[in-house]
Amino acid sequence: WLEEMKISGNKTLEIYQNLSEENSSFAYAEGKWTLKELLQHLIDAERIFAYRALRFARKDQTELAGWHEEVYAKHYFSSERTLKSLVDEFENVRKSSVLFFENLNQEQLSSKGIANGNEISVETIGKLIVGHNLHHLNIIWQRYILIL
């Protein structure tokens, strides 16, 4: 899964690095996120997942609240940012996640905590980052790229 974290990050970067600024503002339907907003969502989700993993890897047993992606999305202001700035941020967030997870030992990866009312291990959180990214790569390809 660590290798897939790198691969899915690179696939995401490849798509976004080949988009024009104009196309990055495309949404496939009214009320759906633009490609910029979707990238900001990936960034935010990864930061939140990595934060949870950090807390649990360090044996912090404080129960962590869930988050509401639509509330976050209302405050992205992605249209005020350049595509390049979002791509750079995603690239660095992913590098940070990879370095973090690569350097955890088995005890840390097995550590568990409660987030959003569910018990979850650090390793599973890492896998969720990958699965979440792959889920949105499929959406990007099917509902955005094929239309553009």
**Rounded distance between C-alpha atoms, residue 71 and residue 75, angstroms:** 7
- In CATH, what number is assigned to the domain containing residue 106? 1.20.120.450
pLDDT of 133 reads: 99
**Distances from the Cα of 10 to the Cαs of 7, 15, 29, 137, in angstroms?**
5, 9, 27, 11
Question: In tens digits, what is the pLDDT along the chain, a chain of 148 residues?
Answer: 999 999 999 999 999 999 999 999 999 999 999 999 999 999 999 999 999 999 999 999 999 999 999 899 889 898 899 999 999 999 999 999 999 999 999 999 999 999 999 999 999 999 999 999 999 999 999 999 988 7
pLDDT of 120 reads: 98
Q: How many domains does the chain have?
A: 1
Does residue 113 belong to any structural domain of this protein? yes
pLDDT of 113 reads: 98
pLDDT of 148 reads: 76
- Encoded tokens for 70: 């639509």
Does residue 132 belong to any structural domain of this protein? yes
Does residue 135 belong to any structural domain of this protein? yes
**Rounded distance between C-alpha atoms, residue 20 and residue 142, angstroms:** 18
Does residue 105 belong to any structural domain of this protein? yes
Tally of CA atoms within 13 A in the half-sphere of 41 that contains its CB:
19
Q: What is the pLDDT of residues 17-34, one digit of tens each?
A: 999 999 999 999 999 999
